Every structure is written in C-alpha cells, then in structure tokens.
Chains A and B, each alone.
Chain A
C-alpha cells in the first residue's frame, strides 16, 4: 500500500469526540518517533487543545493523550516521548516498549502505531520504525518534513519504502497540514493485520543498522550539491552559535532578551491579576456589608468573610500570579527549542556545567530560577537523564528568584543606607552566593546520593528551522493547565493554611495602649481632627501588631525563638520566617505589619519604623549582624512551600521535597550563623 507521491494542502476538519455522528468503534494509536522529527507538531495538528498530559504509572515518563473524530470514528492518539530506540536502557524506551506490547496499563491500549519518520533523515529513523513494527501491531508511517527534504534535494520513494516496511507510508508536512487528511484516512482504515514484512533482529544494533542502510539506499536519493549547500550553511551558523566566544555572546544576548521579556512583559498580567483579585476582594467585602445591612447576619468581619477574602481569594490570586511567568517561559523555550537553537545552547554550556555534574541542558532551568523556581523546575523536562534532572530540580531554589527581591531590598537598604555602590555589590553578592551554592550542591549530590554513571554529552543538534507558533502556544497551554491542575491546588491550600496561621486565633481584647489612643481620639475629634486621625491610625497599627503577635504564627515564632537565637533572630523575625513559607516576599509585609503596623513596605516611614524596631529587651532588632544574617538566610533557605509542591510533583515523591527543605534550611542556618558570628569577630554590632 502506498499513499502515492502527491500531497495537497488540506485543512483537517476534526470534530469533538462527543460528536453524535461518530459511531464506529474508537481506535487508539501510539505516536512514536525519534526526537526532532516533528512528532509533537503532528500531535498538535491532529488533536489541538483536546489533549491532556499524564504520567505512566509509577514513573516520571509522561505522554500526551489526545482525541479526534474523523468521519465516523473516534481516534485516540497517545504521543509517546521522543526516543532513539525501543531497546535502549533508558526509562522512556523501557516504558514505551512495555506500552506497545500491552504490558503496562495506561488507560488507552494501542490498536495501532503511528510512526513518524523525518524525511531528511530516513536511515536513522528506520531503526526505531523497524523496532516499533516488530511489535506486530497495525501501523501507518508518516513521512514528515517533506518540504524540508525537497529543499535539501532529498527524494524519498514512498512506494518503495511502503513495500519494504509492509505498511502504508504517507508523505506529510505536519507544520502546514499537507497530507494530514490522507494520514487520518490511513489510520482509520488500518485493520487488525500486522505489518506484512518481517524484520531482522531489531535488538541487534549492527543487524538493524545494516538493514536500515540497505532500505535507505534503495528508497532515498540525494542531490549532493543541494545537500552540501545546506551542510555548509549549517556549518557556518554552528560556527558562530557554538563558538566558545561568539557563541557565548549570542547566548548571553538570547538569555538577556528571554529574561527581559519574562520580567517586564509578565509584570503587566501579574499586576493585573493582583489588581483584579484585590477588586474582587473589595467587591465581596461590599456585598457582605450590604447583606449585613439587609439581613443583619453580621457576616462582614466574621470568620467566613476572612476565609473568603483573605484565604480563598488570596489563595487563588497567589496561585494564578505565577501563571504569566510560566506561560511566557514555556512559550519562549518552545520557540527556541523548535528553531534548533536550544540544543546548541546546551552544547555550549555543557563545558561549564559538566564540571559541577550537571548537563548543558540544565542551564536554561537554572537561569529561569532567577525569575521563579516553579516554571524553572517544570522546564527541567528538557533533561533526559533522571539523575541529572533530579540534581537540577533540587538546586534550582538556590537561584535568587524575583520573590526574594523585596526581602533583599529591605535588608540591604538597612545594611547600606546611603551607600548605593555597596548596596549594588551586595545585590550581586546575593545572586552569586545562591548560584555558587547551587553548583556546589549539584556537585555534591552527583557524588553522593545521586551518584551514578554520568552520561557524557551525546547531543543531537537538530536542523535549523522556523519555529511553529501553533506548537509553542499549545505547549504553553498544556504546561499552564498542568500547573493549575497539579501544583495550583496544593499552592492554594498552602496559601489558605498560611493565612489561617497568621490570622487566628482572633484576639478579643485589643492592647490597652490602642484603647487609650482611640479614647483620646474621640475626645479631641472636634477640636483637632487631624491629630485624632493620626491617633486612630496608630491604634490600628498597634492592633495589627497585637493580632500578629498572638496568632498561631506568632506562637510558632516564639516557639522557635531558642533555635533561631544563635543566628541573631528573635520571635518577631521568627514570625516573619514562618509566615514567609507561603512566599518569600511575605517576609517584608509581615515585618511591616509586626514592626510598623502597616503592610505598605514602600512607605519610607514604615521602612524607618522597621529599621528602628526593638526586641523585647529594648535593644535594636536589625543590627548589622542580624540584618546580614537574615539576608544570608533568605538567599539560601527553602522559604517557599509552593516550590516544594512542584518539587514533589516533578520528582513524583515527597521524599525529595522534604530532603530539599531540610538540606536548604540547614545550609541557610549554618551560613547565617557563620555570618552572624563572623561579623561579631570583626567587631560589627
């Protein structure tokens, strides 16, 4: 059977799987192919948004499952991870082999196999194709990227290839949709018969490679001059992009542009999310007050009011606020990956990172950690080796994320007031300390609990091509949905718990000083309205501090005081540390409420009050030693439960998340202690 050598651009009309016209029995196809063959582009072309990502049971190997309806039949497509062979000793190869053989339960049992072959690289792709065909299921081969092959002067005789493989071969261009309609027809018609041909021993590399060479030489002809021209162009571009100096320059420019976009473009939707949820909170508050005025239920100011506004709305906002950075990062990474540049960047960085036991692919996730650890951890899926990926996930939170910035600003402004150069250096020092800790930890992990064969760099550098916007958008959508489904729910629960710890138990009696101030304000309200307002504001601040002090978080702060005393912290800083487990930036606002009675950390009067705050014994709280110690603690500590939730999600185990929390806390504590004691030796106060 053959699809013939002609193809026309076809718009594929695909209905939903609940289409009432669909009545033929559903079929499931496993989509398999080498990396960089356009497999995901084809999957997206076939299934679009009707897809979800799931892990194979008991493993971190994931596949996307999509559904489409063609004519009168529902087709399920399972997009398996890209791989070079079914017999390799790699998790994805092992699990996919078992899946094709039907010995692993993954919901959809494959009735057939859809094999993607890159038309520009037939010989190598044939090895996996033969291994997949040997499983004995009905199969259809999609000969993808025919447009690129044409431009490179590569002609594939698909009729001959179909004959040699014993299954239909359809010429397609997944990017433009050419040939996809015909491919769907072939998939729908694929019977229950196994491929007509038998193959040599697919487990023996020499035999199968010789067979692939033989088939390729019979089916593929190459215009040498066109091929040489294409090779020369690629050589020239590679000569720049992988050059130790020029390549590094381009890499830095690309990364700067990437992070400029993430920091600047994402800030707008992030601000919008915060603004909308603040407005929503205000709206709910007004609604409750109105309900009270009508019914007299007394809801506003009660527990349900607080839970709804500060807990639920605050929790949803705390989850959604990560989305813009996650979406942007994945969109840009997908574009870069599609062009073929990301593989070159990994090749370039491999020299540096290999010294610390990490692969070149770890560089983008590590750098992304400066924006936010959550999308950075999700982007470690680029790393093939399990140990390498685990080591990268475990060290990412050491990279100073944007949530640490308010903490750095607060503490560095205390340490170097009126010394902008030193303050700038301190900022750089914080970022450098985090990066050094990450690299040294990675080296230590790879020499201890993640010890194992270090896969030396063997990296395919794919053909340069224009990126697919559609693929980038669908990848972004998929990752965003996965974040909301898996990590988002945990993050929201954490936000609610942290709010509850900080807001309860409610203190029935306000502090005597606040009561006195309010009485005084009432007395002078007529004669001096401005002074009365001032007194009321001060009373509000005192009550807020009082509430925080007597909350569960305050109790915890007092409980941990003996443990944090050696690093210069008292119970007030303990409350700051405890509450900032929800998110690091909460430290600044907690300290503002606790020490200055206001959440506005940008108000210079508030900052001044924090600086002059005292301990219970009347001594100054933020001495040079304490501020430096707290700063070092925040550079190195794992103060983000949302990140821990994502560690658990990405590693598939709470054990790794717990290890990360304990290790980073111990490192942060020890470094803070050294800072505190060391500065004492140098005579700092």
Chain B
C-alpha cells in the first residue's frame, strides 16, 4: 500500500501513519476515515450520511461495489466513491 501524497487535513494523520483508499481494506476490517474531500460532489452527502472525517467504519463487503458500516448506518458505495475515501489506522478485523 502506497502512501497518498495529497491529504487535505494533515492534523488527522500522525507521524508514520499509513493512509490509503478504502478499497484496499479487507472484508471485516475496521478503519478511521481520514478524508472524503476527493469525493467532490458526493462529499457533502457522504458526510450527511454519517461518513465523516474521524469516524470509524467497518467493511462488510468488498468488490466492484462495497458495503461499509458507519455507526448504525450501512452504506453501499461504488468502487469509484470508495476509492476516493482515504482511511488509516486499521483498528481490527
């Protein structure tokens, strides 16, 4: 997994913390969202649906479309959107 250069909010990332797209997470993994800014026009909607920076998510299903759980909200995302969501800190599987 490669480190992503353009991170909108550097305060979210601790030193040596790896940041990568959501699509690289395995099924069942938990992670913290670092940025949704790359999602452009979908960013506000994602945020309003609960997928915001700092929030913790769990990957329920992955593939060309994926399902993630944020708190009690289950979201279906296209790989296009999931690929633009940057996450870090794999919390557990």
Q: Which of A293-301, A343-351, A646-654 contacts B (4 or more CB under 8 A)?
A: A343-351
Distance in angstroms between the alpha carbons of A87 and B43 in the assembled complex: 13
Contact check, B53 vs A206: say whether CB atoms are below 8 A apart: yes
On whether the beta carbons of B53 and A460 are closer than 8 Å, the reply is no
A127 / chain B contacts, CB cutoff of 8 Å:
48, 50
Bound CA span A85–B48, Å: 6
| Alpha-carbon distance between A124 and B76 when the two chains are bound, in angstroms | 16
**In chain B between 11 and 65, which residues have their CB closer than 8 angstroms to a CB of chain A?**
41-42, 44-50, 52-55, 60-61, 63-65
A461 and B77 contact, CB distance less than 8 A = no
Against B, the Cβ 8 Å flags (1 = close, 0 = not) of A196-218 are 00000000011001100000000
Inter-subunit contact A123/B46 (CB<8 Å): no
Task: Check B90 for interface membership: any CB of A closer than 8 A.
Answer: no
Partner of B72, one of A120, A242, A343, A455: A120
CA distance A458 to B81 in the complex (A): 8
* Binary CB contact string for chain A from 444 to 466 against chain B (1 if under 8 A, 0 otherwise): 00000000010111111111000
The residue in A154, A206, A238, A459 that gathers the most chain B C-beta atoms within 10 A of its C-beta is A459
Q: In the complex, what distance in Å separates the CA atom of A617 from the CA atom of B64?
A: 61
B67 CB–A CB distance under 8 Å: yes
* Contact B60–A84 (Cβ < 8 Å): no
**From B50, B54, B60, contact of A124 by CB (8 A):** B50
A121 with B73, Cβ < 8 A, contacts A238-B61, A455-B42 known? yes
Cross-chain contact B64 with A458 (CB below 8 angstroms) = no
Knowing A84-B45, A238-B61, A455-B41 are in contact, say whether A123-B71 is a contact too (CB < 8 A): yes
CB contact list, A353-381 vs B, under 8 A: 354
**Choice from B49, B63, B77 contacting A457 with Cβ under 8 Å:** B77
* A238 contact from B46, B53, B67, Cβ within 8 A: B67
In contact, A456 and B78 (Cβ under 8 angstroms): yes
Separation of A347 and B55 alpha carbons in the complex (Å) = 23
* CB neighbours of B71 from chain A (8 A): 121, 123-124
Determine whether B7 belongs to the interface, using a CB cutoff of 8 Å to chain A: no
Does B81 contact A457, Cβ atoms closer than 8 Å?
yes
How distant is A154 from chain B, measured CB to nearest CB, in Å?
8
Q: A35's closest neighbor in chain B, by CB?
A: B49
- Tell me whether A562 is interfacial, beta carbon within 8 Å: no
Q: Complex Cα distance A210/B63, Å?
A: 31
Q: For A462, list chain B residues within 8 Å (CB).
A: 74
Q: Contact check: which of B46, B49, B53, B78 meets A350 at CB < 8 Å?
A: B78
A83 nearest in chain B by CB position: B48
Kindly count the residue-residue contacts between A and B in the assembled complex, taking CB atoms under 8 Å apart: 106
Known contacts A124-B71, A206-B53: does B78 contact A354 (CB below 8 Å)?
yes
Q: Knowing A84-B45, A209-B47, A459-B75, say if A238 contacts B81 (CB, 8 Å).
A: no
Tell me whether A88 is interfacial, beta carbon within 8 Å: yes
Given that A457-B77, A461-B75 are known contacts, is A242 also in contact with B49, CB under 8 Å in the complex? no
Most chain A CB neighbours (cut-off 10 Å) among B45, B69, B70? B45
Residue of B nearest to A85 (CB): B48
A89 within 8 A of B: yes
A239 interface residue (CB < 8 Å to B)? yes
Option from A154, A205, A456, A460 in Cβ contact (under 8 Å) with B74: A460
Within the complex, the shortest CB–CB distance from A472 to chain B, in Å, comes to 23
Q: Which residues of B contact A90 (CB under 8 A)?
A: 45
A600 is an interface residue with CB less than 8 A from chain B: no
A420 at the interface (CB under 8 A from B): no
Q: How far is the CB of B40 from chain A (nearest CB, A)?
A: 8
Instruction: Find chain A residues with CB under 8 A from B52 CB.
Output: 205-206, 209
- The distance in angstroms between the C-alpha atoms of A210 and B32, with both chains bound, is 15
User: In the docked arrangement, what's the CA distance between A121 and B44, Å?
Assistant: 19
- Considering the chains assembled together, what is the distance between the CA atoms of A235 and B69 in angstroms? 10
Residues of B within 8 A of A453 (CB): 41
- A234 close to chain B: CB less than 8 A: yes
Contact A350 B65 (CB under 8 A): yes
Give the complex CA separation of A87 and B48 in angstroms. 9
Chain A residues with a Cβ closer than 8 Å to the other chain, count: 41
In the assembled complex, the Cα of A131 lies from the Cα of B85 at a distance in Å of: 25
Q: Which residue of B lies closest to A343 (CB)?
A: B76
- Distance, CA A344 to CA B75, complexed state (A): 10
A459 and B41 form a contact (CB under 8 A): no
Residues of A within 8 A of B72 (CB): 118, 120-121, 123-124, 154, 463
Report B-chain residues with C-beta under 8 Å of the C-beta of A242.
61, 65, 67, 76
CB distance from A357 to the nearest CB of B (A): 13
B63 contacts across to A, CB distance below 8 A: 244
- Judging by beta carbons under 8 Å apart, are B45 and A88 in contact? yes
Q: A458–B75 contact, CB under 8 A?
A: yes
**A231 in contact (CB, < 8 A):** yes
* Min C-beta distance of A457 to chain B, whole Å: 4
Distance to closest chain B CB from A386 (angstroms): 13
Q: Check B76 against A205 for contact (C-beta < 8 Å).
A: no
Complex Cα spacing A87 to B80, Å: 24
- List which A109-123 residues lie within 8 A (CB) of chain B: 118, 120-121, 123
Asked if A460 and B47 sit within 8 Å, CB to CB, the answer is: no
CA A121 – CA B80 in complex, angstroms? 26
Q: How far is the CA of A450 from the CA of B56 in the complex (A)?
A: 36
A184-243 interface with B by 8 A CB criterion = 205-206, 209-210, 231, 234-235, 238-239, 242
Q: Shortest beta-carbon distance, B45 to chain A, in Å? A: 6
Within the complex, what minimum Cβ distance (angstroms) separates B85 from chain A?
10
Check A84 against B48 for contact (C-beta < 8 Å).
Answer: yes
Cβ-defined contact, A460 with B60, below 8 A: no
Contact B44 A460 (CB under 8 A): no
Q: For A354, give the chain B residue with the smallest CB separation.
A: B78
Q: Contacts A239-B61, A453-B41 known; A84 to B49 CB distance under 8 Å?
A: yes
Is there an interface contact between A88 and B64, defined as CB atoms closer than 8 Å? no
A457 to B49, CA, bound (A): 13
Kindly state the separation between the CA atoms of A205 and B43 in the bound complex, as whole angstroms.
Answer: 10
Given the complex of chains A and B, what is the CA–CA distance between A127 and B78 in angstroms? Answer: 24
Q: Indicate if the CB atoms of A461 and B48 lie closer than 8 Å.
A: no
Enumerate chain B residues within 8 angstroms of A206, measured Cβ to Cβ. 52-53
Give the distance to chain A from B49, nearest Cβ to Cβ, in Å: 5
Q: Which chain B residue has the least Cβ–Cβ distance from A340?
A: B74
Q: Specify which chain A residues have a CB less than 8 angstroms from the CB of B64 in the assembled complex.
A: 351
Contact B78 A457 (CB under 8 A): yes
Pairwise interchain contact B42-A456, C-beta atoms closer than 8 A: yes
> Which chain A residues border B55 with CB–CB below 8 Å?
209
Write 26 A-B pairs (CB below 8 A) sorted by A numbering.
A84-B45, A88-B44, A88-B45, A89-B44, A118-B72, A124-B50, A124-B72, A127-B48, A127-B50, A205-B48, A206-B53, A209-B50, A209-B52, A210-B54, A231-B69, A242-B61, A343-B76, A344-B76, A453-B41, A456-B42, A458-B45, A458-B81, A460-B49, A461-B76, A462-B74, A463-B72
Could you list 20 further interchain pairs (A-B, Cβ under 8 angstroms) beyond the known A85-B44, A453-B41, A460-B76?
A84-B49, A89-B41, A89-B44, A121-B50, A121-B73, A123-B50, A128-B48, A205-B52, A206-B53, A234-B60, A238-B60, A347-B65, A455-B41, A456-B42, A456-B81, A458-B45, A458-B75, A461-B75, A461-B76, A463-B72
Interchain residue pairs A-B with the least CB separation, the first 4: A84-B48, A85-B48, A457-B78, A124-B50
